[in-house]
Amino acid sequence: MKKRFVLLSVLLLLSVLPMAGVGAIDDLLTGPQTMAQYFPAETVLFGAIRTDEAYLDQLDGLGERLIDGVDTGSVPLLTPREQLDLLLAPENLSTGQLLDLFGDYAALGYVGYDDFDGPQEALLVAEIADRAGVEALLMRLNDDFIVGSEGGYTTFLSEDDQLLIGLSDTLFIAVDDSMGLPQFPLETPLHKSDKFVAAISELPAPSYNILAYADMEVLTGDLVRDAAVSGITFETPGPLAAGFTILDENTLAIDTVQRLATPASSVTVNSIDPVFPRFIPADATVVTHATDLSGLYERLMATLTDVTAASGEPAPQVQVELALAALGLDLEADLLNWTTGDYAIFGRLDVVPVLEGLLGNQFDINNRFDVGMVIEATDAIAAQNFANTVAELMTQFTAGLEGVTITADEIAGVGVTVLETTASLDPSSFVDFDIVVGANDVIFFLATRPAAETILTGDGVLLNAPDYIAAQPYVLPNATSVWYTDGEGFLIGNGAPVIVVLALLGPAIGNIFENIIEELETAPQAAAPLAPQTIAYQTQDEVALLIEQLAAFGALVRNSTASATVTADGTTLIRLTVTYNE
């Protein structure tokens, strides 16, 4: 049973590894998309990958760089080729031998769809280079195959698994034996489907190593219909396409395209201002930059109103407006009227020192973090009035609180209100920080003091940061929003589980380790002691090692981005990138 699926497992394993790009996406019969000619137009899910030696060499090159950067010698790290060799070793196969048998591309698709509750009409197709070699491999993996012929194919039937494999001079095909083997050329192949062509053609890179396609109108049809019965209206999605590639040898990229089922006649797109990051500190590790905060709020309220329409409760927008009115704010006049321009939310956290402090019972985040928000003021007077209102509310809600002071100050000639506070993390740890709120003729801002000083002076801003500049070629044109991190910001996302666990333990984590060691040292000794002190220290060392590996990985990453845009017909494009240091 295990042997007969080794080959299929290898093909699927290749599909989830990082990809590198070749070919030209504008030609639907070159690159991975060429495999669409072997699938019918009604295919609802389709994925195609490269399976050639050059592709694996590129993966190995990237893998070796990453391993060299993070390998501490404690756990063996393998390149993609080494992983495949390990998988194939029980069958006395090497990766090179396997690749010699097959061609450049393989694809998997689901032709039928029934909510995935019952048997699916799945089709696996791979190009082959050595028909006799593949035949010999199949018999070697499973000598119980029933061998026959059908329509020019040599067939291999596994009755136990209802698996039917067909081999021609150029193709390996695997299907459920109830489907039968397809005959080519197909009358209506996927690569000539209007949905497929429309989605794949919108992908922004010239080529990809892996392509995926989904007919979301079919896949979500039941969900949309059920929601409509409940009074909830969703716009029916159109086809979805995704591509994975490497750009300029150092940047991993994932692109997605989501079309509407019925393309819009004209969509007005508000692109972000590319120079707005002049108001964002250069040391920000995580940044979200978008435009039209008012529009975002209105779209969110419209969605929530649809979702809650049947509840009988007041519309969410009404509830928000009533809550703000209780604070003396008119949502439309005081905020939404002037927040139609760009805005950014950013943060900075020195991750590794914080983690090391947690481990060493010296938790200290003073001067190791900043946060802030900047909003373009399309009406300077309204923005200043809002800043004054926020300052008044801060004063009102902190009145009488110990350790909190509100003062008026000036930064770079701009009048600001400063909230100074000291927060206790535990009896021995405190964090001091200032929150500054204000506005000038261009922006409204709310930020910690170091960030506010950068915002107002323009010294050391993200717009001029080398890593940020290096990321710009990979941001989608006419982006409506951009998410950016430097290497440390990328580390925050990948190290979040560690940060959460250690933060929950708090500064006492060092005491926990010390108490474990002390208890083990003083415990009555058994006839065969297990060296408990050594075990305890290894536990602590393993956490330290993990922190070291996270730091090394963060140093490998130069930046990462997520950018989005919307075309004139309502198609949404999203690109995710990670760029490694050379």
Q: What does 29-94 look like in DSSP terms, one character per residue?
A: TSSGGGGGGGSBTT-SEEEEEE-SHHHHHHHHHHHHHHHHHH--SSS----HHHHHHHHHGGGT--
Mean pLDDT value of segment 89-95: 91
pLDDT of residue 294: 94
Per-residue CA distances from 333 to 51, 294, 316, 339 (Å): 59, 12, 18, 11
Which is more confidently placed, 178 or 384? 384
Mean pLDDT of all residues in 525-551 = 55
User: Is 346 among the domain residues?
Assistant: no
How many domains in the chain?
A: 1
Please tell me which residue, 428 or 32, carries the higher pLDDT value.
32
Mean pLDDT, range 127-153, rounded to an integer: 93
337 belongs to a structural domain: no
Containing domain of residue 144, as a range? 3-256
As a whole number of angstroms, the distance between CA 387 and CA 404 comes to 19
Cα separation of 19 and 209, whole Å? 5
Assess if residue 330 is contained within a domain: no
In a domain, 316, yes or no: no
* pLDDT of amino acid 487: 85
Say how far apart CA 503 and CA 498 lie, in whole Å: 8
Q: What is the pLDDT confidence band of residue 502, given thresholds at 50, 70 and 90?
A: very low
Give the mean pLDDT of 56-80: 78
Q: Of 101-110, 179-188, 536-545, which gets the smallest average pLDDT?
A: 536-545
Over the stretch 293-322, which tens digit does the pLDDT of each residue have? 999 999 899 888 877 776 677 888 889 989
Tell me what the pLDDT averaged over the chain comes to.
83
Q: What is the pLDDT of residue 331?
A: 93
Any domain includes 435: no
Locate tokens 């333990």: which residue? 505
Phi then psi for residue 169, to 5 deg, are: -65, -20
Most confident among 149-163, 293-307, 465-479 (mean pLDDT): 465-479
C-alpha distances in Å from residue 570, one per residue of 33, 170, 215, 281: 24, 40, 17, 33
Could you tell me if residue 482 is inside a domain?
no
Q: Please name which of 413, 421, 519 lies closest in space to residue 456, comparing C-alpha atoms.
A: 413
pLDDT band (50, 70, 90) for residue 555: confident
**Domain assignment present for 373:** no
The backbone torsions φ and ψ at residue 479, rounded to the nearest 5 degrees and listed phi first, read: -65, 140
Closest to 348 (Cα-Cα) out of 432, 284, 287: 284
Q: Is residue 240 one of the residues assigned to a domain?
A: yes
